[in-house]
Amino acid sequence: MIEYLRKVYPKSQEQLFTLLYQNLTEQKKVFLVTANPETMMNGYRNVEYDELLKDKKTLIIPDGIGVVKMAQRIGNPVPNRITGVHTVQKLLHFGNKNELSAYFYGSKPEVLKKFSSILKKDYPNLKVAGMVDGYHYKDDEVMQDALKKQPDLVFVALGIPRQELLIHRYFEQFSKGVFLGVGGSFDVLSGFKKRAPKAFIQLNCEWLYRLIKEPYRIKRFYNNNMKFIWLTKKEMKGNH
C-alpha cells in the first residue's frame, strides 16, 4: 500500500489540470488512475493491476478521501480529493476549447445516447472519434478501433479493474493521449445517476451517499476500506 500511496499525485487539482493541458498541447501520453481504497486493493490482489499502479507512466490521482488521508499518514502531502467526474469535465472543456478528439468506451447504450446529445450541446467543438457502449462489443476490437483513430482523450467506463487493465494493455501502442478509467462518470454526467449533494461532497462523505443509494456496495466497500487501512498501518509499523 505504501508504495502506491507514495505515488499519489501530491499537488492541487489546478496543478494537475495544468499538467494535463500541457501534456495534451505537447501530445504527450499519460494514464490517469482515479484511486480509492478499492483501487489500491486491486493492486494488492492482482499482479497486473499492481504493475500498472507501480508503472512510472501511471499517474495516480486521489479520488477517494481514504486515499487522501492515508497518503498524508505516510508523509505524502496530498492536499485534497481530485474526483474522476470533475477531471472528465475539465478534460472535455479543454478538448472543446482546443478542438481535440475524444474516444468514449463503456456504459449502457441509453446512457451514451443521452451523453452524446449533451456533448453536442455543451462541447460542440470536441471531435468524437468513437463512442461505443460497454455491453455489445469486445474490448480488443474497440481498442483496435481507438488505435486507428489516435484520439487526444480516451475515456473508458467499464468499472474497476477492467477499465484500467484494458488501458494499460494498450497504452504503449498509442502515440499520444490522456487515458482515464472513469467508472460511472458517463452515468453521472448524462443524469442517469445522481452525484451526491454538495454537502456530502464538501464533508468528504460522497462515499456515504453512494452507499445509501447503492447498498449492495456495502460489503465490497467495507472489506476494501478496512483491509486497505489495516494493510497500510501494518506496513507503516514494519517500516519503523
Residue 106 CB, nearest approach to ligand UDP (Å): 4
CA distance 81 to 65: 6
Residue 191: closest CA among 121, 124, 127, 110: 110
- 218: its cell numbers: 456495502
Residue 122: closest CA among 164, 86, 93: 93
Distances (CA, A) of 210 to 33, 40, 193, 204, 206: 20, 19, 10, 12, 6
70 binds ligand UDP (CB under 6 A): no
Residue 47 CB, nearest approach to ligand UDP (Å): 20
Residue 70: closest CA among 240, 239, 237, 231: 231
164 binds ligand UDP (CB under 6 A): no
Which of residues 170, 183, 195, 224 is near ligand UDP by CB under 6 A?
A: 183
Which of residues 63, 152, 187, 206 is near ligand UDP by CB under 6 A?
A: 187
108 binds ligand UDP (CB under 6 A): yes
142 binds ligand UDP (CB under 6 A): no
H or E segment and range at residue 134 = none
Q: What is the DSSP string of 141-177?
A: HHHHHHHHH--SEEEEES-TTHHHHHHHHHHTT-SSE
Which of residues 134, 167, 168, 177 is near ligand UDP by CB under 6 A?
A: 134
| Residue 232 and residue 218 in contact, taking contact as beta carbons nearer than 8 Å | no
Residue 182 CB, nearest approach to ligand UDP (Å): 8
> Which window, 61-69, 96-104, 145-153, 179-187, contacts ligand UDP (CB under 6 A)?
179-187
159 binds ligand UDP (CB under 6 A): yes
66 binds ligand UDP (CB under 6 A): no
161 binds ligand UDP (CB under 6 A): no
* CA 19 to mean position of chain CA atoms: 16
Which of residues 100, 184, 196, 224 is near ligand UDP by CB under 6 A?
A: 184
Q: Closer to ligand UDP at the Cβ: 152 or 187?
A: 187
Q: Which residues bind ligand UDP (CB under 6 A)?
A: 106-108, 134-135, 157-160, 183-184, 186-187
